[in-house]
Amino acid sequence: MTAAKPDHGTVRAVLALAGRAPSVHNTQPWRWVVGAESVHLMADWDRWLRATDPDGRDLLVSCGAALHHLRTAFAGMGFATRVHRLPNPADPVHLAAVEPRAATASDEQVALSAAIGKRRTDRRRFSSWPVPAAHLDLFAARAAEEGVLAVPIAGARERGRLASAFTRAAAHQERVEGYGTELGLWSGRGRTAADGVPRTAAPSRPMAHDGLPMRAFSAGSLTASTANDQEVDAGALLVLATAGDDPLSRLRAGEAASAVLLEATGLGLATCPLSQPLELPETRAAIRDGVLDGAAVPQLVLRIGWAPAAAPPLPSTPRRPVEDILSRLPGTGTP
């Protein structure tokens, strides 16, 4: 790339940050193809969790999060991006083409990029400190910039219906053929793994916060965040929802999730994306109709709150090396 565009070293650094995006079971279901003028996001359907994610929704939301991480990393390094989403309708693997151009990074963009390395998925109980309304308004604004609604679920009736959907989804998936095997293959990973949910990030016993059960990963060692398991969890719940339910909507939902998670991380909040009840048609419809009044399609739930002051920091989860997910178009050099 020319002086007005990022060099190879910068592109690799950006892709490493993009790879920090959250994904279902930390499968990292994406690949990158770099050309002379653009970077292309490709879905890696070999990493599709067929039992967990039968319609590929989680995969596309995950890739959307990686796309926003890419945009954020480029912005923090002084490059604006022009994004062409689903540029080839005949190719469902090609999700986006991103054209970076030199620009001046704002302090806000630098700070948001710095949040990438700090973000963790925290499945533990949050503290009793409420999330300020101004923060929730900011998260809604960030999601709206990506064309997505971020709906706070504060009422007892709506929270109860959401919790019921979580419980029903967990019970149903336990009966799905291959689900337990798939979950076991992708969780309880050791230190040397480059993907999957490590045992240090998965609860050591079943956890439920305000009636919402956390997914029961295998061989976890993550303990409660406080000695008092009965402390009120004042974490906020946001449902990310879209007007439609096509691949573009799902990709956009992932971008919005990244935008909200990074903003929350920058404010010092703990976060946890939750997808389990959106993976089944029945519970997805229940959330759409019973929580969102049928006005939008739910794509993801975000838990956001303050970690207890005494909670130990979470270690970074593993990611695949850039060289494993990067290729170049012919005539543009070596990866």
| Contact of 325 with 30, CB cutoff 8 Å | yes
Q: In the chain, what is the straight-line distance between the N-terminal and C-terminal CA atoms, in Å?
A: 13
Give, as one character, the DSSP assignment of residue 222: B
Least confident of 49-63, 154-168, 197-211, 320-334: 320-334
Task: Give the per-residue pLDDT at 226.
Answer: 64
Least confident of 11-25, 50-64, 223-237, 269-283: 223-237
Structure tokens at 15: 């892709």
The pLDDT mean for the chain works out to: 94
| Contact of 281 with 126, CB cutoff 8 Å | no
Report if pTM > 0.85.
yes
Domains of the chain (ranges, CATH numbers): 8-114+324-328 (3.40.109.10), 133-305 (3.40.109.10)
Give, as one character, the DSSP assignment of residue 186: T
- At 47, is the secondary structure helix, strand, or coil? helix
CA dist 138 and 269 (Å) reads 13
pLDDT (tens digit per residue) in 156-189 = 999 999 999 999 999 999 999 999 999 999 999 9
